């Protein structure tokens, strides 16, 4: 950005005067700073930032250019056709996007900027056939009473309106042409503008709003009529999946229009704005570049409660927590608590459960249901909550405990026959405890009403005895009979026209029915479990489900001490939704809501037994079986404990009625502990007599022979103990190199001792061949520069190992392999979130999957062939990794399941899904869990499979249509993804490439925009892959050259460096600039840049290693190369610190490249301890250590990497403090030959 922004003072804004001339292709612009209280006429633009490459520019009168995106270029071209001069306000231009303080100052003014504009122009982009048909329909739509809806502010839940059959659509007089127009109207809503969170405020506050697409335009009233016509008359809604972009846009625009209507009424009535809870509920549906904008985007239209001001300097988590605190502690409503649980990945959130995590995406609308049904379970708020004095993450509030949940039914799934039956049968079984004296007819009436949460249908009351109830009950009976009599998935077609089935689906799909110990019936979201407690909260219109804090122990409900809880969800409780709880004889208590203990809240643990005491305990207290058999426990239904139980017997599943014995936890006695302590003291005394001059920690790495020599010769205190590798510095690779990852398979994650990363320092004897590009070469150089470093590291490493042994191990999940059948994997909200995470954070690097086809197959849940199951489970495994913290182990079960379908016979498969699954396993997953050699082996096998299938050759016949072209493109993407993965995983190992770019490989590069559709994300994936291929071509040449000779000639090194610089300088603008963009693009360009710094650094690092390990005069040392290497490592550390993100795809890569870069200043400090640059090198290492600490939640190896760097740094500081002299005896060849220890 070349222009200079003048400062904004007071309540002022910049507006843009634009002049169009036929003589100039570029518009001529000028800024004016005007007061917002009395501004001149201007048009405010509402549009969607596309974050695309700046492809054009506008010219200012003083000659300064300003680059603009494709979206804004299209806008200016459209305006040029209508105006010669126009005054605009465009946020991307009129706000200095590089000045954070100015952005924070302007954000609160956004509501007034749009409300005081002369006109708001909604720019949807250029037109196409769909948009032209949609605008033609809106312009021809007659405003009749038939198509005018009820006020949008009264619209109930989106899915209620989406699925309801009570609108009598079939009786509409619509013509076929109208149906065509309505469908195009719906498809118009898939444009990204409709899901943008900022547009809610822009439309709510704006006036004289025009919706423009290309040359077509309508006013907002006509546009709203088009949306209403879809609600009332379009019979084709059911043809679209719930996650189709058009349906999501339809959802968002409906809520946006209802919020505008509510805001305009409040403004006319003198109100302060829309309730913040209503706005945050809508934010869960929307998209934002920064998720903190889901709070800041409403400042101009929200009520007057003192929420935090816009602040882009604090974390998103802090924004959410401070906003929740302001809303809960400074108002008369606690409805925010009903929203705080929402989100697919909420269970991995570190945010307190009483605060909304708007990083998640959710479709529930509990507050809309409250408005529609008139719920008010908690009644009036008496005392506002307050933040606990002990912690800002704990909230004190008053609640009324109702009852404990003791029966949980399986989740409803109306699209799967078996699951729907499994959910309904336990509900029917609750009659004995819930019906009381009710007759069977009355019980069925109650059930027909309660299963849809007692809600009205289309805002029409529907209760027993009211008009329409008999029809409602008839459909309920028909649906219930179908559920009980159906067993096959194809039976689903018979019930699709049933009204009750179509109401159940939007109301309670994925939710669970439950019963409490005192006979309340309820429905709650998926996280609800047995043992949770139902509360009503004064000020909150829905009951809440809370979970006791497991760390506070069991306490009686109603005790005087303040208990701590975690918020699980909101719920519907039959008989409590209209304030009935206030009449119950239940005291109001004060409790504390806190952040969840993630491990204790969502995991279960088993104790271990001690053989010495187990027999005694078994005699006194025999182990009893679980209360429920495995089958009933899995289905979450009540079990009578018999063998077989009644549930399994009724389903003819006697063989599956298996009870698992509980493992009795044994606490060792005081006598046992005293005996162990005495034995340890005696052992230490004997060792001290045998080795008086050495600590036990120094002895752990010695061989038997070295221990005998130490006893016989008594060693002096000043002698450094030898290492097994010192006697054989140049071992034969073929004889002594070894690696045994199979042994580590038995170890819990993380496996820190993988030889590639050298995270175990020099004490893991298992090793594989590694060359000059590896980390082991740098560590070996340090040990040869400073031999004394080995002893210091040995003691520090032993201390670290002792600490690690005491930490609780979290083993991988290993299911039984006895299963022979491969069941279908059915769609779930969690699975959908993991798939979304994969395509958000993995697909941008290796877009080998056909996203549309993959999502379609997953949603249908019909495929169960091994190649598909292997690929799906690998996608779920990688999605689990990148959507959770490093402490999460869910990915293990998906990987284990994938491996069931990837045995040795899979290498003979010709299915592309098998190849892609192997690529994900070998190129990503096994490297993530520190199994690099196995990963490289599997990736190599995948290469052989791909070449056997001919993926490396471009087909001679290029003619084809549709599916043939798409299949060919997927083959290209898969091959080149394999090439990139293999390059990325082996460049830093010093091994040869084995010819990735040989002349026999003539496959073309992936195509961009193959189908001609404007899919920016897909095109960005292809653009990123093409640029990565070009990078990998250079990296492969460098890799092969370094595998031949450790130190390149200056000419060869400069040639490679120039090629890398040229590659980086010719990247597309969006991959080379630092402007804000969508997360996938930011992630892609950041990691591409880290690889670029790292590879350039590896080019020059051999010069540093050679200088530190050889007898060279000052003139022989290549100072230019060494200084270049040191400068590149500094740049890499600074870049990673500036651009890494808080999730594992970023953290995982950031830790690896940071670990590589940190070795340069460490080695430099050891080599030249008297250099003036030591202070700078020390600062770089300290920055790296700080980053490792921050990344521990987002990288499996961050803790170990920090430990290695910290140990070397502390030890080297100790040595420099002692003023020891350098020891420069070994040469560089011995470093490369040391393949047993770094």
| Residue 235 pLDDT exceeds 80 | no
1034 and 1092 inside one domain: no
Q: Nearest to residue 912, comparing CAs of 959, 867, 872, 963?
A: 867
| Residue 403 pLDDT exceeds 90 | yes
Report the distance separating Cα 3 and Cα 916, nearest Å: 47
Q: Quick one: average pLDDT of 64-78?
A: 87
DSSP one-letter string for 228-288: HHHHHH-TTGGGS-TT-HHHHHHHHHHHHHHHHHHHHHHHHTT---B-HHHHHHHHTTSB-
Report the distance separating Cα 1169 and Cα 1173, nearest Å: 9
How does 565-576 read in b/e, with b if 16+ C-beta sit within 10 Å?
bbbbbbbbbbeb
Q: Answer with the one of 659, 681, 712 that is the final residue of a domain.
A: 659
Q: Give the C-alpha distances (Å, rounded to integers) separating 1125 from 398, 1097, 1121, 1150.
A: 61, 5, 6, 19
Q: Answer with the one of 1044, 1076, 1091 that is the final residue of a domain.
A: 1044
Q: Nearest to residue 60, comparing CAs of 3, 1, 6, 15?
A: 3
pLDDT band at 806 (very low <50, low <70, confident <90, very high): very low
1084 and 1007 inside one domain: no
The two structure tokens encoding residue 982: 């293999």
pLDDT band at 1015 (very low <50, low <70, confident <90, very high): low
Any domain includes 916? yes
pLDDT band at 818 (very low <50, low <70, confident <90, very high): very low
**47 SS3 class:** coil
The better pLDDT of the pair 815, 125 is held by: 125
Any domain includes 301? no
Q: Quick one: average pLDDT of 135-150?
A: 62
Q: Quick one: average pLDDT of 439-464?
A: 80
- β-pairing verdict for 564-570 and 589-593: parallel
Q: Report pLDDT for 1184.
A: 94
| Residue 146 pLDDT exceeds 70 | no
**516 SS3 class:** strand
pLDDT band at 69 (very low <50, low <70, confident <90, very high): confident
Q: Quick one: average pLDDT of 1206-1214?
A: 83
Most confident of 716-725, 949-958, 1038-1047, 1163-1172: 1163-1172
Q: List the Cα angle 931/935/936 in 5-degree steps.
A: 125
The two structure tokens encoding residue 1032: 């990998």
Q: Report pLDDT for 738.
A: 40
The two structure tokens encoding residue 495: 């019930």
The two structure tokens encoding residue 5: 């922004």
Name the DSSP letter for residue 694: S
From 222-226, 758-762, 1207-1211, the region with the lowest mean pLDDT:
758-762
1035 and 1067 inside one domain: no
- β-pairing verdict for 28-35 and 119-123: unpaired
Q: Would you call 490 exposed, middle or buried from its count of C-beta atoms within 10 A (0-12, 13-18, 19+)? A: exposed
Q: Report pLDDT for 480.
A: 92
Torsion, CA 156, CA 157, CA 160, CA 161, rounded to 10: 60
Report the distance separating Cα 769 and Cα 739, nearest Å: 9
pLDDT band at 1136 (very low <50, low <70, confident <90, very high): very high
1023 and 1056 inside one domain: no
| Residue 808 pLDDT exceeds 50 | no
Domain containing 477 equals 413-509
Q: Quick one: average pLDDT of 1056-1067?
A: 91
997 and 876 inside one domain: yes
From 278-287, 797-806, 997-1006, the region with the lowest mean pLDDT:
797-806
1014 and 1102 inside one domain: no
Q: Report pLDDT for 237.
A: 67
Q: List the Cα angle 923/924/929 in 5-degree steps.
A: 120
From 21-30, 621-630, 980-989, 1207-1216, the region with the lowest mean pLDDT:
621-630
Report the distance separating Cα 137 and Cα 185, nearest Å: 8
Any domain includes 837? yes
Any domain includes 261? no
**49 SS3 class:** coil
Report the distance separating Cα 375 and Cα 574, nearest Å: 11
Q: Report pLDDT for 769.
A: 55
1054 and 1034 inside one domain: no
From 78-87, 467-476, 527-536, 603-612, the region with the lowest mean pLDDT:
603-612
475 and 433 inside one domain: yes
Q: Give the C-alpha distances (Å, rounded to integers) separating 469 from 168, 309, 446, 448, 461.
A: 16, 50, 12, 10, 10
What percentage of the chain has pLDDT greater than the value 90?
33
Crossing angle of helices 1198-1218 and 775-785, in 10° steps, is: 20
Report residue 860: phi and psi, to 5°: -70, -30
Tens-place pLDDT, residues 869-898? 999 999 999 999 999 998 888 899 999 999
Number of domains into which the chain is organized: 5
| Residue 144 pLDDT exceeds 50 | no
Q: Report pLDDT for 607.
A: 35
Report the distance separating Cα 638 and Cα 654, nearest Å: 16
Any domain includes 1202? yes
Q: Report pLDDT for 231.
A: 77
Q: Nearest to residue 869, comparing CAs of 904, 834, 821?
A: 821
Q: Report pLDDT for 700.
A: 65
From 1018-1022, 1123-1127, 1134-1138, the region with the lowest mean pLDDT:
1018-1022
Report the distance separating Cα 39 and Cα 5, nearest Å: 19
Detail the DSSP E strand segments found in 388-449: 395-411
- Output the 3-class SS for 550-576: HHHCCCCCCCCCCCEEEEEEECEECCC
1080 and 1013 inside one domain: no
What is the spatial order of strands in the sheet that 209-213 belongs to? Answer: 65-68, 56-60, 28-35, 12-19, 85-89, 43-46, 119-123, 209-213, 216-219
Q: Report pLDDT for 661.
A: 59
1023 and 1078 inside one domain: no
Any domain includes 580? no
Q: Give the C-alpha distances (Å, rounded to integers) separating 1066 from 735, 1020, 1059, 1095.
A: 46, 16, 11, 17
How does 442-470 read in b/e, with b if 16+ C-beta sit within 10 Å?
ebbbbbbbbbbbbbebeeeebeeeeeebe
The two structure tokens encoding residue 400: 């009324």
Report the distance separating Cα 199 and Cα 135, nearest Å: 20
Contact 586, 576 (CB under 8 A): no
Tens-place pLDDT, residues 506-544? 788 888 999 999 999 999 988 899 999 999 999 999 999
Residue 80, Cβ neighbours under 10 Å: how many? 16
Most confident of 2-16, 755-769, 816-830, 906-920: 906-920
Torsion, CA 910, CA 913, CA 919, CA 925, rounded to 10: -140
1124 and 1033 inside one domain: no
Crossing angle of helices 788-806 and 775-785, in 10° steps, is: 130
From 206-215, 719-728, 993-1002, the region with the lowest mean pLDDT:
719-728
Run of H or E residues at 387? strand 386-387
The better pLDDT of the pair 567, 617 is held by: 567
Tens-place pLDDT, residues 312-333? 888 888 999 999 999 999 888 9
pLDDT band at 55 (very low <50, low <70, confident <90, very high): low
Torsion, CA 728, CA 730, CA 732, CA 738, rounded to 10: 70
855 and 992 inside one domain: yes
What percentage of the chain has pLDDT greater than the value 70?
76
Name the DSSP letter for residue 1011: T
Q: Report pLDDT for 679.
A: 80
Write the CATH number for 642: 4.10.240
Any domain includes 1090? yes
Q: Quick one: average pLDDT of 44-70?
A: 80
Q: Report pLDDT for 898.
A: 92
Any domain includes 374? no
Contact 803, 314 (CB under 8 A): no
Q: Answer with the one of 491, 509, 527 that is the final residue of a domain.
A: 509
Q: Report pLDDT for 1208.
A: 87
**353 SS3 class:** coil
């Amino acid at each position: 950005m070349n222009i200079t922004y003048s400062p904004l003072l007071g309540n002022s804004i910049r507006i843009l005067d634009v002049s169009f001339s036929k003589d100039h292709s570029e518009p001529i612009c000028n800024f004016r700073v005007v007061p917002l209280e009395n501004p001149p006429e201007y048009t405010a633009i509402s549009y969607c930032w596309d974050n695309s490459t700046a492809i054009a520019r506008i010219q200012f009168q003083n000659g300064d250019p300003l680059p603009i995106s494709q979206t804004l270029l299209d806008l200016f071209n459209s305006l040029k056709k209508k105006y010669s001069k126009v005054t605009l306000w465009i946020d991307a231009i009129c706000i200095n996007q590089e000045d954070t303080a100015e952005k924070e100052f302007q954000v609160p003014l956004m509501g007034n900027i749009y409300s005081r504009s002369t006109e708001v122009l909604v720019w949807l982009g250029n037109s196409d056939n769909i948009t032209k048909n949609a605008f033609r329909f809106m312009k021809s739509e007659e405003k009749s009473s038939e198509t005018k809806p009820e006020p949008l502010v009264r619209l109930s839940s989106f899915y209620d309106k989406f699925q309801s059959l009570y609108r009598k659509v079939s009786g509409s007089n619509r013509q076929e042409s109208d149906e065509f127009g309505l469908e195009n109207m719906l498809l118009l809503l898939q444009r990204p503008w409709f899901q943008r969170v900022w547009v809610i405020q822009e439309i709510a506050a704006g006036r004289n709003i025009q919706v423009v697409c290309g040359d077509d335009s309508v006013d907002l009233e006509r546009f709203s009529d088009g949306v209403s016509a879809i609600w009332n008359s379009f019979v084709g809604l059911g043809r679209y999946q719930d996650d189709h972009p058009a349906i999501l846009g339809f959802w968002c625009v409906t809520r946006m229009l209802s919020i505008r209507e509510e805001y305009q009424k409040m403004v006319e009535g003198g109100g302060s704005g829309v309730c913040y809870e209503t706005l945050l509920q809508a934010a869960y549906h929307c998209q934002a570049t920064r998720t903190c904008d889901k709070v800041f985007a409403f400042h101009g239209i929200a009520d007057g409660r003192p929420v935090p001001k816009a602040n882009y300097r604090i974390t998103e988590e802090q924004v959410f927590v401070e906003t929740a605190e302001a809303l809960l502690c400074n108002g008369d409503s606690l409805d925010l608590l009903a929203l705080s649980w929402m989100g697919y990945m909420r269970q991995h959130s570190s945010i307190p459960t009483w605060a909304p995590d708007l990083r998640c995406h959710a479709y529930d609308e509990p507050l809309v249901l409250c408005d529609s049904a008139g719920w008010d379970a908690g009644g009036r708020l008496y005392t506002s909550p307050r933040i606990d004095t002990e912690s800002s993450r704990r909230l004190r509030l008053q609640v009324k405990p109702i009852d404990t949940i003791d029966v949980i039914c399986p989740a409803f799934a109306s699209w799967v026959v078996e699951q729907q039956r499994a959910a309904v049968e336990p509900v029917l079984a609750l009659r004995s405890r819930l019906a009381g004296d009710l007759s069977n007819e009355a019980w069925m009436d109650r059930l027909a009403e309660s299963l849809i949460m007692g809600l009205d249908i289309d805002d029409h009351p529907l209760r027993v005895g009211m008009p329409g109830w008999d029809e409602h009950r008839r459909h309920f009976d028909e649906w219930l009979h179908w559920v009980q009599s159906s067993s096959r998935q194809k039976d689903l077609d018979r019930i699709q026209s049933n009204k009750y089935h179509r109401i159940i689906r939007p109301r309670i799909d994925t939710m669970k029915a439950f019963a409490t110990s005192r006979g309340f019936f309820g429905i709650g979201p998926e996280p609800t479990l047995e043992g949770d407690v139902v509360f009503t909260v004064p000020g909150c219109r829905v009951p809440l489900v809370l979970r006791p804090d497991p760390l506070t122990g069991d306490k009686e409900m109603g005790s005087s001490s303040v208990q701590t809880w975690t918020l699980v969800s909101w719920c519907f409780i039959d008989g409590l939704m209209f304030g009935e709880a206030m009449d119950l004889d239940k005291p109001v208590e004060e409790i504390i809501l806190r952040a969840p203990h993630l491990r204790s809240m969502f995991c279960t643990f088993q104790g271990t037994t001690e053989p010495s005491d187990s027999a005694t305990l078994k005699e006194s207290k025999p182990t009893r079986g679980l209360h429920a058999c495995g089958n009933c426990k899995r289905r979450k239904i009540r079990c009578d404990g018999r063998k077989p139980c009644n549930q399994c017997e009724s389903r003819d599943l006697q063989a599956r009625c298996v009870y698992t014995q509980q493992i009795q936890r044994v606490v060792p006695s005081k006598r046992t502990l005293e005996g162990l302590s005495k034995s340890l003291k005696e052992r230490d005394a004997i060792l001290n007599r045998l080795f008086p001059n050495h600590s036990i920690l120094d002895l752990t790495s010695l061989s038997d022979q070295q221990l005998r020599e130490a006893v016989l010769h008594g060693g002096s205190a000043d002698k450094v103990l030898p290492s097994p590798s010192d006697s054989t510095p140049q071992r034969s690779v073929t004889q002594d190199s070894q690696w045994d990852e199979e042994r580590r398979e038995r170890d819990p994650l993380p496996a820190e001792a993988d030889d590639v990363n050298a995270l175990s320092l020099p004490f893991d004897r298992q090793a594989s061949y590694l060359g000059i590009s590896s980390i082991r070469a740098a560590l070996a150089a340090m040990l040869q520069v400073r031999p004394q470093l080995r002893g210091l590291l040995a003691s520090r490493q032993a201390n670290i190992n002792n600490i690690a042994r005491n930490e609780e191990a979290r083993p991988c999940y290993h299911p039984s392999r006895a299963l022979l059948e491969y069941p279908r994997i059915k769609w779930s909200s969690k699975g959908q979130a993991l798939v979304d995470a994969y395509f958000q954070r993995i697909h941008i690097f290796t877009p080998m999957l056909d996203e549309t086809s993959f999502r379609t197959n997953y949603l249908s849940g019909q495929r169960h062939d091994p190649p598909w199951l292997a690929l799906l489970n690998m996608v779920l495994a990688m999605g689990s990794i990148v959507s959770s913290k490093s402490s999460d182990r869910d990915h293990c079960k998906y990987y284990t399941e994938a491996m069931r379908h990837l045995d040795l016979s899979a290498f003979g498969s010709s299915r592309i899904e098998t190849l892609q699954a192997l690529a994900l396993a070998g190129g990503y997953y096994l490297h993530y869990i520190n199994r690099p050699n196995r990963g490289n082996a599997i990736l190599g096998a995948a290469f052989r499979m791909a070449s056997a299938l001919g993926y490396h050759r471009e087909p001679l016949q290029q003619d084809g249509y549709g599916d043939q072209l798409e299949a060919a493109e997927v083959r290209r993407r898969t091959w080149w993804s394999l090439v990139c993965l293999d390059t990325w995983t082996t460049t830093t190992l010093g091994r040869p490439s084995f010819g990735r770019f040989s002349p026999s490989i003539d496959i073309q590069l992936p195509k961009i925009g193959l189908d001609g559709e404007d899919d920016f994300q897909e095109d960005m994936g292809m653009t990123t892959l093409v640029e990565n291929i070009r990078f990998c071509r250079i990296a492969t040449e460098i890799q092969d050259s370094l595998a031949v000779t450790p130190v390149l000639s200056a000419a060869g090194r400069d040639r490679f460096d120039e090629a890398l610089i040229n590659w980086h300088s010719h990247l597309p603008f969006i991959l080379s600039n630092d402007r804000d963009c969508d997360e996938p693009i930011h992630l892609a360009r950041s990691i591409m840049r880290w690889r670029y710094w790292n590879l350039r650094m590896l080019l020059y690092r051999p010069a540093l290693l050679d200088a530190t390990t050889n007898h060279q005069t000052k003139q022989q040392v290549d100072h230019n190369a060494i200084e270049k290497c040191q400068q590149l490592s500094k740049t890499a550390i600074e870049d990673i610190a500036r651009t890494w993100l808080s999730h594992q795809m970023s953290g995982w890569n950031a830790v690896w490249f940071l670990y590589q870069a940190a070795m340069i200043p460490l080695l430099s400090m050891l080599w030249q301890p008297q250099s003036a640059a030591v202070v700078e090198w020390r600062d770089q290492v300290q920055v790296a250590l700080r980053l490792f600490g921050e990344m521990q939640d987002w990288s499996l190896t961050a803790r170990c990497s920090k430990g290695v760097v910290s140990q070397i740094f502390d030890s080297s500081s100790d040595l420099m403090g002692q003023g020891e002299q350098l020891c420069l005896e070994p040469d560089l060849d011995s470093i490369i030959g040391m393949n047993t220890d770094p």
